[in-house]
Chains A and B, each alone.
Chain A
């Protein structure tokens, strides 16, 4: 059974940093691209970052580019999101998601999410 379990969320002050983790199990982690998707309170879904299976390529939307860094440790089957220079608008539930292996790029499994609150 595929499982994605996020951790590392919490309350952080504006301008500070936080690192999220996502522990994967039930599949060959190193064979899949992975992503982070967030959801602000009462809002819709927003893609935050993607990393290819080997970790050599990463992609971000303009809203987080230069502030967030996605990485992975295939030996530990763990995905990370380093979030720097946090802003109040980064307050959201952050989901770890597995991306499919085809060219159509959808997210077939999601974690339960971890809440990040940016506030002074």
Chain B
């Protein structure tokens, strides 16, 4: 099983601040996907295939990485970005999620 380790577990950012969340895989994967989950809501696809923004995702978000190291970056934090973000890999039909990074507004 491929284990995904997200860091940090929790962080707080001020409006306008640049934010970077990371996800490390225990083995190399071809792609990483990211989901946003706001409190009390279902997860939403946010970034797929490492760097493609899902429909409706603001372009202040970006994704990058390869192999075992991936990241999600917010260029300029906004109030609505406060949520938990999960990474997910889809190799070999057995999928795993990271434990999530809770991003709060400072």
Contact = CB atoms under 8 A, between A and B. Distances in A.
Interface residues of B, number: 25
B97 A47 contact: yes
A95 B97 CA distance: 14
Contact of A104 (B33, B94, B100): B33
Contacts of A61: 1, 94
Contacts of B94: 47, 59, 61
A45 B33 contact: no
A41 to B, nearest CB: 12
Contacts of B54: 108
Interface in A71-103: 95, 100, 102
Given A106-B88, A110-B43, 19 more contacts: A37-B43, A44-B86, A44-B97, A44-B98, A44-B99, A45-B43, A45-B86, A45-B88, A45-B97, A45-B100, A47-B94, A50-B93, A104-B48, A105-B91, A106-B49, A107-B35, A107-B45, A108-B45, A110-B45
